A and B are shown apart, each in its own frame.
Chain A
Amino acid sequence: QVQLQESGPGLVKPSETLSLTCVVSGTSISNYYWSWIRQSAGKGLEWIGRIYISGSTTHNPSLRSRVTMSLDMSKKQFSLKLSSVTAADTAVYYCARGPFYDRSGWGHYFGPWGQGIPVSVS
């Protein structure tokens, strides 16, 4: 079955860059959009951004230009970089498949999700 696994440091210093990677197994990475979503006690679930195999990315405007995403088809993985982090970026970060797009149009949902990786900014 489709599985996603996040990896990266669990502790990042303020003003530095948070870097996470998500490895995909059980499906082709090239036929879907892939997203990053985070969950914190203060803001709940928050969509960060999405990437497609073409390199096209879209991100949450609230994160302004701090988000960079990339995808490596050969390694079946995609990555997130969030710059200039503050304590407000402390959260559990999830990678997920989605949204979906096919001949019938958009499916604006996510599934499956990775198990999540807690990241603390301190």
Chain B
Amino acid sequence: QSVLTQPPSVSGAPGQRVTISCTGSGSNIGANFDVHWYQQLPGTAPKLLIYDNNNRPSGVPGRFSGSKSGTSASLAITGLRTEDEADYYCQSYDTNLSGSYVFGTGTKVTV
């Protein structure tokens, strides 16, 4: 019962640019709460990829960028590489009783 909606899958050729959308509502993204993104490689735990909408933790390549507008957010991957093949999740804070921290449904990126 994820509160944030993402497309199930996106794909692109090496070197291309792909974007992943994350749609929320007025109780989370639309309430001006920041959006964060995680990358989950096969068989591993999620790893923080983007925090506070568009900030990259140390070590995350500049090919990854985030943006937010209204009740939605997006993750862009430019110069797609085979090692980017993974599941990606958005996450935000929600003021409803569904839970304080909510995650997206997840998007499988295929290169």
Q: List A residues at the B interface (Cβ < 8 Å).
A: 35, 43-47, 58, 60-62, 94, 99, 106-116
CA distance A94 to B91 in the complex (A): 15
> Taking each of B44, B47, B100, which has the highest tally of chain A beta carbons within 10 Å of its own beta carbon?
B100
Instruction: Say yes or no: A107-B52 contact (C-beta < 8 A), given A45-B2, A47-B100, A60-B100.
Output: yes
Q: Counting CB contacts under 8 A, is B102 at the interface?
A: yes
Whether B64 sits at the interface, judged by CB under 8 Å, is: no
Known contacts A44-B2, A44-B106; A111 and B101 CB within 8 A of each other: no
Q: Which residues of B contact A (CB under 8 A)?
A: 1-2, 33-34, 36, 44-48, 51-52, 57, 89, 91-93, 97-106
**Chain B residues whose CB sits within 8 angstroms of the CB of A115 once the complex forms:** 44-45
* Number of A-B residue pairs having CB atoms within 8 Å of each other in the complex: 69
Cross-chain contact of B48 among A44, A94, A110, A114 (Cβ < 8 A): A110
CB distance from A68 to the nearest CB of B (A): 17
Instruction: Specify which of B1, B2, B33, B46 is in contact with A108 (CB 8 Å cutoff).
Output: B33
CA A62 – CA B100 in complex, angstroms?
Answer: 10
Q: Are B51 and A109 in touch, CB under 8 angstroms? A: yes
Q: Is the CB of B46 within 8 A of A113?
A: yes
Of B1, B45, B101, B102, the contact of A94 (CB 8 Å cutoff)? B45
Residue of B nearest to A113 (CB): B45
B52 to chain A, nearest CB (A): 7
Question: Which of A35, A109, A111, A115 has most B Cβ within 10 Å?
Answer: A109
Question: Smallest CB–CB gap between A43 and chain B, Å?
Answer: 6
B57→A99 contact, CB < 8 A: no
In the complex formed, the residue of A with least CB distance to B1 is A43
Tell me the bound Cα distance from A114 to B45 in angstroms.
7
Do A99 and B101 touch across chains, with their CB atoms under 8 A apart?
yes
Given A47-B99, A47-B100, A60-B99 in contact, is the A109-B2 Cβ separation under 8 Å?
Answer: no
